[in-house]
Amino acid sequence: MKKLVHALILTGLVGVPAFAVAAEEESPHKLSANVTLTSDYIFRGISQSSGDPAIQGGFDYTHASGFYAGTWASNVGWIRDFQDYESGSMEIDFYGGFRGGIGETGLTYDVGGIYYMYPGENNGCCNDADTGEVYAALGWKWFTVKGSYYLTEEVFGFGDISSPTGGDADGSYYVAISGSYPVAETGLTLGASWGTFSFENSDQADYDDWSVSATYDMGKLGKLGEGVTAGLKYTDTNAEEAVWTDANGEFLGDSAFTVWVTKAF
């Protein structure tokens, strides 16, 4: 009987169930990529490109188990303009972690780590900008709470040299609350966030930041827009201008509107 069924399948007289073929073809491994053009690269309320446009992109690997890893890069301006590096105009991030759901609670979690690397030459004149961070996030429906804790002695250039107490910056932390609400089936998503950054041994650098945003799935307009997202965002901070102004007189924590477009592959 089994031989007869196999023969019928091979001759096309009996079809293989579509769900069985899909199950066999579906892989637990997924690779994706993205590229973004933005009018200003703002990270946690602070401009990383000194108010100039940026091009960004990354690659991601995800597994059905919830494990993920990836890398992402962008041009930056603060390495030379704010940190006094002799050369350097790139940020390269490496990250990995686990994410998933918690039973039937509707809660989601995300735990992992990220290393921010800034290639360049400072010839020992200033703090190292490279920074290591671990993070944990808890989400429910449209809301997410995330905490980041810094492990490196210098955190984005703040640490033993720039601190008035001469102490290391490891132990600094950032906490944020954010919301993201999709408006029915329109493709429009509204967002808002608030965060607070506390620098160990560099209290003058502490600040809060907040934002509101709107993104639109361009795929709603037709096939040419598939995988494309456009966005508009307003950000502001209460950062000390005397601390967060670069060598060109640009206040990096100033309020700003940014627009961007992202293509996912």
Helix (H) or strand (E) holding 4: helix 2-11
pLDDT value for 210: 98
Which domain covers residue 208, as residue numbers? 29-264
Say how far apart CA 5 and CA 260 lie, in whole Å. 56
Q: Would residue 7 count as lying in a domain?
A: no
4 within a domain of the structure (yes/no): no
Answer yes or no: is 236 within a domain: yes
CA dihedral 134, 155, 51, 205 (to 10 degrees): 110
Of 233 and 26, which is predicted with more confidence? 233
How big is the CA angle at 202 (ends 200 and 203), to the nearest 5 degrees?
95
pLDDT (tens digit per residue) in 13-53 = 444 454 444 445 689 999 999 999 999 999 999 999 999 99
Predicted confidence (pLDDT) per residue in 187-232, tens digit:
999 999 999 999 998 888 999 999 999 999 999 888 888 999 999 9
Has residue 161 got a pLDDT over 70? Answer: no
Is 22 within the bounds of a domain?
no
d(CA 89, CA 49): 9
CA torsion 153-249-57-147 (nearest 10°) is: 40
Total number of domains constituting the chain = 1
Q: What is the DSSP string of 76-113?
A: -SHHHHTT--SB--EEEEEEEEEEEEETTTTEEEEEEE
**Which of 65-74, 118-127, 151-160 is the most confident on average?**
65-74
> Considering the chain, what is the average pLDDT of its residues?
88
- Residue 9's pLDDT band, with cuts at 50, 70 and 90, is very low
9 C-beta neighbours (distance < 10 Å), count: 12
Q: Tell me what percent of the residues of the chain surpass a pLDDT of 70.
A: 87
Domain presence at residue 115: yes
> Is residue 15 situated within a structural domain?
no
CATH number of the domain within which 67 lies: 2.40.160.40
pTM of the model: 0.85
Query: Is 19 contained in some domain?
Result: no
Q: Is residue 128 part of a domain?
A: yes
Does the pLDDT at position 55 exceed 90? yes
